[in-house]
Amino acid sequence: MGTIREPQPVKLIVSLLTGDPGWLADAKARLVSLFGPIDWESRLLPFAHTEYYTAEFGPGLQRQIVSFDRLIGPGDLATIKRQTNEIEQSLASGRKRRVNIDPGYVALGKLVLASTKDHGHRLYLGQGIYGEVTLTYQRGHFRPWPWTYPDYASEEYRALFEQIRERYKVQLRQHVG
């Protein structure tokens, strides 16, 4: 029988997707009020891998990925997803969101994303939220799974998450030491 232990804290990341980057500052301010300071931001990344969000957000979508200075418990992801959904709704215009906010976390061995949608490769976390191991870390790099979204599977995105993982490793050493 294994010994039950609390997991290591993990690095909270959030993906922000919008057709109007003017909404990003407001969304990030609301995230900071909940999760503390942002310690890393990607540049604006063109979102051209699918047309899934075009009807809701319009053309010319852009994504920005941010990470937060404060580490979280991996068991907090369901609550965090519900909080980010509330932010989406507070920024919405009627039934149309202005910003899509998807939280997840970077751990040493994986990138996990939260979702409200069930699928064969997702585990139920509670509170109506599912978790998906989107990338796995093997042989010095993040690697995609067959179900990984095309943008997250790209070399560019994986390199971004590897930068975040390096920040996280430093924080873990400080957290333990």
pLDDT tens digit string along 21-70? 999 999 999 999 999 999 999 999 999 877 777 878 888 899 999 999 99
Average pLDDT over residues 149-171: 97
In whole numbers, what is the pLDDT of the chain averaged over residues?
95
pTM for this predicted structure: 0.95
| pLDDT score for 162 | 98
Q: In angstroms, rounded to a whole number, what is the distance separating the alpha carbons of residues 83 and 88?
A: 9
| pLDDT score for 43 | 97
For the chain, how far is it from start to end, CA to CA, in angstroms? 29
**Residue 10 CA: distances (Å) to CA of 64, 118, 150, 160:** 20, 23, 24, 16
82 lies in some domain = yes
CATH number at residue 143: 3.30.70.260
69 lies in some domain = yes
| pLDDT score for 51 | 75
4 lies in some domain = no
pLDDT tens digit string along 111-125? 999 999 999 999 999
3 lies in some domain = no
Q: Are 103 and 80 in contact (CB under 8 A)?
A: yes
Average pLDDT over residues 128-137: 98
Reported as a pLDDT band with limits 50, 70 and 90, residue 94 is confident
158 lies in some domain = yes
| pLDDT score for 177 | 55
pLDDT tens digit string along 8-24? 999 999 999 999 999 99
Q: Three-class SS of residue 154? A: coil
- Extract the tokens encoding 28: 């990030």
Q: In angstroms, rounded to a whole number, what is the distance separating the alpha carbons of residues 177 and 167?
A: 15
| pLDDT score for 55 | 79
What range defines the domain where residue 24 resides?
10-172
Number of structural domains found in the chain: 1
Reported as a pLDDT band with limits 50, 70 and 90, residue 80 is very high
5 lies in some domain = no
Q: Are 36 and 69 in contact (CB under 8 A)?
A: yes
Reported as a pLDDT band with limits 50, 70 and 90, residue 156 is very high
Ordered alpha helix ranges (H), 6-154:
24-35, 54-57, 77-91, 150-153
